[in-house]
Amino acid sequence: MFWQMVAVEHKKLTRRKILWIELAVMAAAAVFIPLVIYLASQSDGSGNLVITTDGPVEEMIAWPLALRLGIDLASGGGLGGLLIVILIGTLTAQEYGWRTMQLWLSNGISRPVLLLAKFTAVLLPSLLLVLAPFVAGALTTAVFTQNLQGSLPFAQVDWWQAALSIGRTAFTLLPYAALTFFLAIVSRSTVVAIGGGLAYAMLIEGVLVQLLTFVGGTWAKIGQYLPAGLSNSLAALNRVSASSGSGLVAQAEGVSMETAVTGIALYTLIFVGLAIFAFRRQDLGG
């Protein structure tokens, strides 16, 4: 019954316009960024490019390294984290007005199972929010790569590592989804859920972490254990090139992979657990 509920939630998700709008936004961003870089690399009015074959500009818009652009864009600390907050806040809070939760409960489904099924369904949009910019960015940069290099270097792409990078990035979205899920359950308000999630991502992680880094010392390390810091630590492992030593940027200092995975999982479980605790005490009548 649990997986049947998850399947129903997936079907509901794919029928919601907001999901497709967000996927379009992610895909458009993955197309727009390399396109701007490509156009900006032109130095004269004739449209002739002045890109050296080994230059840093080409690495940003040509395979294999350019394949990372879409993945990095979708990380929990990037655009993907903001969009998952908007998506989950909208979908979860609206369930109260539509009384679909009451319908499930009237069929004998327990409250914890209902919420677990709903959050499990979040895994699909999390993955799609990473796949959309990856595919769009890959197609866009494939055109630039063909133009600059004359062929697509498929042999230089580590597709297995690219798949792992996509999975890791989708995983980094879960704490933000769980936090927004909790806020939506507690408040029953789309505004509170989205506003709270965005405030955390943009103010606490976006501003406070920068201040802690500026202070330095032990305070700076605190930011590494927030979801954004853990996401950055996992993102440092992302690789798409068959050459293990290459990458768009140098790996940033952060926690170990095991610590990052454990921390992200704990944040997710804590927020989902709090949501279940609050939901079990809610009066859904009236």
- CB neighbours of 39 closer than 8 A, spacing ≥ 6? none
Of 53-57, 58-62, 150-154, 238-242, which has the strongest mean pLDDT? Answer: 150-154
> In the chain, what are the domain boundaries?
2-280
> Angle, nearest 10°, between helix axes 190-199 and 174-187?
140
The pLDDT of residue 246:
44
CA 6 to chain centre: 21
Around 38, how many Cα atoms within 13 Å sit in the side-chain half-sphere? 18
Q: Are 62 and 149 in contact (CB under 8 A)?
A: yes
Q: Are 231 and 75 in contact (CB under 8 A)?
A: yes
Q: Which residues pair with 203 in a beta bridge?
A: none
Q: Are 177 and 126 in contact (CB under 8 A)?
A: yes
The pLDDT of residue 248:
41
Q: Which residue has the higher pLDDT, 128 or 241?
A: 128
Distance CA 228, CA 214 (A): 17
Q: Are 134 and 67 in contact (CB under 8 A)?
A: yes
Distance CA 66, CA 236 (A): 15
What are the pLDDT digits (tens) for 206-251?
Answer: 888 788 878 877 887 888 899 998 998 999 999 888 765 444 443 4
CB count within 10 Å of CB 256 equals 9
Q: Residue 216 gets which letter from DSSP?
A: -
C-alpha distance across the termini of the chain, in Å: 27
Name the 3-class secondary structure at 247. coil
| Nearest of 133, 131, 137, 159 to residue 62 by alpha carbon | 137
- What percent of the chain is modeled with pLDDT above 90? 66
Q: Are 203 and 218 in contact (CB under 8 A)?
A: no
Distance CA 79, CA 88 (A): 14
Whose tokens are 């068959």? That residue is 242
Distance CA 281, CA 277 (A): 7
Per-residue pLDDT for 135 more than 90? yes
The pLDDT of residue 223:
85
